[in-house]
């Protein structure tokens, strides 16, 4: 279990170091997830300890939103003043996410059909 936690935090650290070295405008943990994903793809499977630690973290993910909720409550007056911008950002980012996800799924569906024939009984 300690090794799995070390692996997850090590990938995050590598992501942070990469971003600090390159100056790219990406969050370090996102780059760390890409590093972890690449390593797992090369390995071919998710080791049981990593799966166990990841499942535990995901089950308790809601606890990580408590500080964000406190921040929202702390700055509620600012949100009330800027509600139009906040609402526009929420709706706009949601719409962009839906469109990009749909395009990605269409592209992946075409890719899997070309590479492996039809998937899941589709014609």
Q: Quick check: 113 and 119 in contact, CB under 8 A?
A: yes
Sketch the domain layout of the chain as residue ranges.
1-59, 66-123
CA 70 to chain centre: 22
Binning pLDDT at 50, 70 and 90, where does residue 15 land? very high
Q: What is the pLDDT of residues 85-108, one digit of tens each?
A: 999 999 999 999 999 999 999 999
Please report the pLDDT score of residue 48 as a whole number.
95
Is the pLDDT at 121 greater than 80, yes or no?
no
Q: Quick check: 33 and 16 in contact, CB under 8 A?
A: no
Q: Quick check: 8 and 54 in contact, CB under 8 A?
A: yes
Model-level pTM? 0.61
Residues 6+ apart with CB under 8 A from 30: 15
SS3 assignment, position 118:
coil
């Amino acid at each position: 279990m300690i090794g799995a936690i070390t692996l997850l935090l090590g990938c995050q650290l590598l992501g942070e170091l990469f971003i600090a070295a390159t100056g790219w405008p990406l969050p370090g943990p996102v780059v760390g997830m890409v590093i972890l994903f690449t390593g797992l793809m090369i390995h071919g499977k998710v080791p049981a300890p990593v799966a166990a630690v990841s499942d535990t973290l995901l089950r308790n993910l809601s606890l990580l939103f408590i500080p964000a909720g406190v921040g929202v409550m702390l700055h509620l007056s600012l949100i009330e003043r800027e509600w139009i911008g906040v609402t526009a950002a929420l709706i706009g980012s949601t719409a962009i996410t839906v469109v990009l996800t749909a395009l990605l799924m269409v592209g992946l569906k075409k890719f899997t059909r070309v590479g492996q024939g039809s998937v899941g009984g589709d014609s």
